[in-house]
Amino acid sequence: MPRIQVAIIVGSDSDLPIISSTVKTLDNLGIKSSVNVASAHRTPQKVKQCVRSAQSNGAEVFIAAAGMAAALPGVVASETTQPVIGIPIEGKSLTGLDSLFSIVQMPPGIPVATVAIGKAGAVNAAVLAAEILSVKYRPIKAKLTAYRKKMALGIEKKDAALQKMGVEKYIESVKK
């Protein structure tokens, strides 16, 4: 297995469509990552193994995504002193609020940085991991700066189109 900088662990393979945004963002920022499926409740030994393996392969930041009881980020944090970022995954019955509360309410001394529920959180977890790594790796800092500039240019381009077209025509053009 190649050396990695960010280890991603998801509680279920059903989380992979959301996590694909994390992987894509990390890839775009030039950050090597790994992805494993391991459940805090159904395969706790596998979670421990994933953490140990990732650390031996160079992981400096962990991202853990989970829905429902969302114990996975906390379990990962209990197994490492590396930063852990938790992504709450939207569930069917409580729309991800259960996951959010489970991840954000960690006991003192075992922190988990928590991002938004779902895809926005998946992207933000990657960006936050990059920000953590950028303290040590200058090339990542440069890529983050370029990423932010690209986002700003996109907003400026949209505003220019809005100013030219007006609200109604702009809304119609976005729908297409």
Nearest to 151 by CA among 112, 117, 171, 124: 124
Has residue 1 got a pLDDT over 70? no
What pLDDT was estimated at residue 166? Answer: 96
Provide the pairing of β-strand 33-37 with 6-10. Answer: parallel
What pLDDT was estimated at residue 2? Answer: 53
Has residue 176 got a pLDDT over 90? no
Residue 12: DSSP 8-state = S
Instruction: Say if residue 93 is exposed, middle or buried (CB neighbours under 10 Å; 0-12, 13-18, 19+).
Output: exposed
Has residue 162 got a pLDDT over 80? yes
pTM for this entry: 0.92
Has residue 109 got a pLDDT over 90? yes
Within 10 Å of residue 30's Cβ, how many Cβ atoms?
13
Token pair for residue 103? Answer: 């991840």
Given a contact cutoff of 8 angstroms between Cβ atoms, the answer to whether 123 and 25 are in contact is yes
What pLDDT was estimated at residue 158? Answer: 96
Provide the strand spans (E) within 67-124.
Answer: 84-88, 113-114
Percent residues over pLDDT 90 in the chain = 91
| Tens-digit pLDDT profile for residues 59-77 | 999 999 998 888 999 999 9
Residues 6+ apart with CB under 8 A from 126: 6, 21, 22, 23, 25, 26, 29, 31, 63
Residue 66: DSSP 8-state = E
Helices (H), 57-137: 72-78, 97-104, 119-134
Has residue 57 got a pLDDT over 80? yes
| Tens-digit pLDDT profile for residues 16-54 | 999 999 999 999 999 999 999 999 999 999 999 999 999
Token pair for residue 23? Answer: 């992987």
What pLDDT was estimated at residue 68? Answer: 86
Nearest to 22 by CA among 9, 12, 3: 9
| Tens-digit pLDDT profile for residues 143-158 | 999 999 999 999 999 9
Average pLDDT, the chain: 95
